[in-house]
Structures are given as structure tokens and as C-alpha cells.
Amino acid sequence: MLQVDLTGKNAVVTGATRGIGFGIAKALAKSGASVACIGTNEEKLNASVAEIVADGGSAKAYICNVADSEAVAKTAETIIADFNKKVDILVNNAGITRDMLMRRITDEQWNDVISVNLNGTFYVTRAFVEQMRRGKWGRIINISSISGLIGNKGQANYSASKAGVIGFTRTISKELANRNITANAICPGFIDTDMTAVLDEAYKQVILSNIPAGRMGTPEDIANAVLFFASPDSSFVTGQILTVDGGMIF
């Protein structure tokens, strides 16, 4: 794990129940940050937070659907109060897929993915950004995807949502830079998580053949990128899109 000292910093991570989000929350806590973990599955989220705490980290669980604007606003108010009115690091990681060829995607499948992946990123950022502005310090890290850069067959909704996250990130980086707040995005490639575990073995081999590094990524690979963007040493890095994919795309 990248060695970064985040002692005294408060972080918020959405989609922190498992996979990439849990890996990020765990890495932030291990680096000294106090972490507000947001998720929708109460049992699994509590178990993940308990694991972080048992490992010596500081974390609390918050149940919230990021696609619900009112719920996000209320949850943000609670977190800000619980964390002494100071939020320094925000990681927008929550995301879902509803894969289907474009011509067969239903309105519900389209709207579900856009609502969580893109609208949710906007709702959560809006809810916390004023606190960062007042403190004149902040790190916003949005988890996009290589699908948002190059597209992917069967993922018109997902690719559109993740491309939107990239445009959103670049825009807010320009709006917030004068308040010492950076905004960057990470585009993971194929990462070994529950989401990719459902892929059949033959398709996984096709994927691996297109990854020069010869392996799928891990949540820790993404967490290390987050730690760099979250660190005080990245203060002059904003509006950037970092691809973490083992060399799959250039």
C-alpha cells in the first residue's frame, strides 16, 4: 500500500460495502483518516466497517441510496455533524451495472444506471463541497471507468454514466481550484471484484489476453491511486483522469 499520512483528515467513501469501495475505505483508514462509509446493504456495510475498526482504523457506517437527492442531503448533514463539521476527502465510488445491448435497454435499466453512477456523484459532491469550500481544502476523487473512455459493447448506459463522471470531474476542478480543492477521476480497468466474478472463465481469458500486465487489477491498485490524489502532496494535480488498467488502453 502507498505510504501516505492522512492523520487528522476525515473522508467519505460511497459504495464502501465491498470491492473497490471497501478497499479504498480500508486504505484511507489505514493511512490515518477517519472514514464515513456509505452503502445500501446495512448488514454488509456494518461488517465491512467492523473489519476496518478491528484492524485499528476509524470508520462509521451510513445507509444511503446516492440516487436519492433528499437522502443524500440528510446523510451528509449527519456525517458533517458526526465528523466535527470537517470533511476533507470525498470518494464517489458507488456504481451499478445493468448490462444489455443498447437496442434492448429499457428505460428503467438506463435510468437506474444514470441515477446511481452520474446523478449520485453530483448529489454527493454537492452535499459536501460547501464544507470543503469553507475549510479551503479538499480532495474529490471520482471513480469512473475505462468504459467511460472507450465504450464497451453491452454497456451503453454504464459507459455514458462514466463518461459523464469524467466531464463532471473536469468541470468542478476548474470551479474549485481557487479554494484549494482538487477534483480528479480514476478509470479502473478490469478489477477482480464481486462484479467481475460473475463473468464466465472463457470471457475472463479474453480479457486477460488484452491486458499487457497479464492480470486483472485488485481493489488495492485503485486504493493506491486514491491515496495519491487524497494526499497533501497532490495539491497541484487537478482535473486529471488516471487510467489504472494494466496497460489495456493508451
The residues assigned a catalytic role are 158
Helix axes 156-176, 107-114, angle to 10 degrees: 30
Which three three-digit cell numbers place residue 19?
Answer: 470491492
- What stretches of the chain show up as alpha helix (H) in DSSP? 19-30, 42-54, 69-82, 107-114, 120-135, 147-150, 156-176, 194-197, 201-209, 219-230
Query: Would you say the C-alpha torsion 129, 228, 196, 160 has a positive or negative sign?
Result: positive
Q: Please work out, in degrees rounded to the nearest 5, the angle formed at the alpha carbon of residue 16 by the alpha carbons of 198 and 127.
A: 130
What is the Rg, in whole angstroms, of the alpha carbon atoms belonging to the chain? 17
